[in-house]
Structure 1
Amino acid sequence: MQSSPELQSPPARQATTLRYQRPQGLSLPPVEGLTVLTPSPIDESAFLLPDPTPNKTSRSLSEKRNADEDDKQEEEEYDAPNPERVALWRHYLFKVHKYSSYSFTAFLSMHLATASAMPALLGIDTADNGIVLARVLYQAPIVEETLVFGSLAAHLISGAVLRIHKVRRDKRWYSRRLKMSRISFTGYLLAPLVTAHVVVARVIPLIKEGDSSIISLRFISRGFVRSPLTSWSLYLAMLGLTVYHVGYGWSRWLRIRKYTRVRIAGVAVFALGIWGLRVVSKGFNMAEWLGKKYDMMYEMAEGLVGLSN
């Protein structure tokens, strides 16, 4: 019986043996007994291509992050000054945006406690006394201009500038449409509502009376009696947007990623606020001269928005 032929392995790469061969152009000692493999061809043109730069087609729609993730990344960039990644003016503008919310939250907590929580828990008379005491603190000279209006204006302006910069950057590099996180969106919805509240409760009394000493929860109650549907709509919208914007905004500042407690606290504050509005909306007896002054102020406010008869 004939023996089967030995299996031959597939041909390997071409091998050459170097014996006493000196590489040209190099002063190396001769090498003996080493085997080198002839390398396969390499396309050197791949190394000559320019580095990729962001353009309109550099990101597909599936690669784009949602607005919340964009804001988180932007927050990390703005919060850590690195001359190679982000300009210093954006870093300091972000700091203004962040810490102005701290100072305004101090006023807002005091205002919500006296205008929403105290009416619900202690009644309208006790709440009015609390508003008078709180007004002594935040309407003091320089305090109101810096703590209330100054911090609010700084927060709005810095946020708007950062948003414009982000839109221009995304349009230039990635041709992305404007995407806004829910926190930013509620903030922009709040801006006209807060402005209207300031005009009605602070600016108009200054024009009519020279100060706002006669403004109390009875003034808000008078508005509910005059226009219940409009008052309920505006105050519910302002309360809900404020709770959402402040709650989730602070959770971002504090790096809280589990929102269960934030939602529970937000629902509790919103429910307490609705209860307080219900107490205020019932209407209360007041002196005739005071009711007339309140009506004059509301008529002026209605005239500003074209609702006067």
Structure 2
Amino acid sequence: MIYFVHGPDRWLARAAVLEVAAQIDPTCVNTTWIEGRETTIESIVHAVATVSFFGETRVVIVTDFLRNSPDDAMGSAESDPPDRKNGKRDSLKTLLTAVPSDPCLILFESSLIAPPAVIRTFVPPVTILGAEPPRGMALIAWLVAAAERAGSQIDRRSAQLLAETLYPQTWNRKPNNPRFDRPPEMALLAQEIEKLALAAHPDPISALHVEQMVERGPDHRVFRFQDAVLGGNLHSAIAELERLNEASEEPAMILNQLLGQLELSAVVCAANGQDAAEIADDLGGVSPARVSAAMAAPKRGNPQVIATVLSAVGIDRDLKTGRISRPAEALDALVLTLTVGSDK
């Protein structure tokens, strides 16, 4: 039997892998993990075919095998160049064909948002498990269950407040524009629940705990502002900044997020067309969705990126050394630096 577990949410995908493995091999005695980027097809097949202890079913979990294709490519198979796509398809088909039917092979590809065509069309069928984060009432129910797993309780109103605090515009549904989508990150939500459970113990998690201990996440207006600034659109940037000010957003928070996005844009520019998931994995702490948004922003040449980053570093230094007295002034200076001279 063969399972293919994919993202986009790594935490949910890993949980699905562990659940499948536990159902087949509850004691974990016959379960083997293999790093797919550092092995060969022959090694995987040999591990799957190895006789298990006590006659039980052997489980072999292979992570990131598609990053180990002949050209060392990774990411979504549908978006790769034809030569990379063919290399991955042939390697994967060879592996699927060589696996015996009795043991269990689990291919764990958390960086993919969908299975490649060879998985979808393979005979006998491969069991496909996707890890799309829940939203709306399903997310609320997940938070309630997560609190119970953490040895605590949270009512649905407080759970919704937690979701709204971290993902104010996207906890309930996807936005119409994918660029503004910030899907719930289940690993972060699980950490927040554990933190709140510890703080509230022995009492249940309340709305007051959420308000006092959870930092509010950015809404889509911040991303629209960043797009306008990085795109050199002064008029739109000013309009979006006014909306943020009317919403009582802290200038220091807006400035830090803009600096962070500018830094990420510089990294993307230097990555020379690498896959978004690969860049996110190399950086750590950055979601592929955020990298994709940076890649979709208006392109700047390397010299312009370097000049922009140097200007931003100078403004940040002036604020920290007292040459600029307030974050709002630094934010205005950065907006003007990035947009003045544009014809937009």
| TM-score, length of structure 1 as denominator length | 0.24
More helix by share: 1
Whose RCO is larger (CA < 8 A, sep 6+)? 1
| TM-score, length of structure 2 as denominator length | 0.23
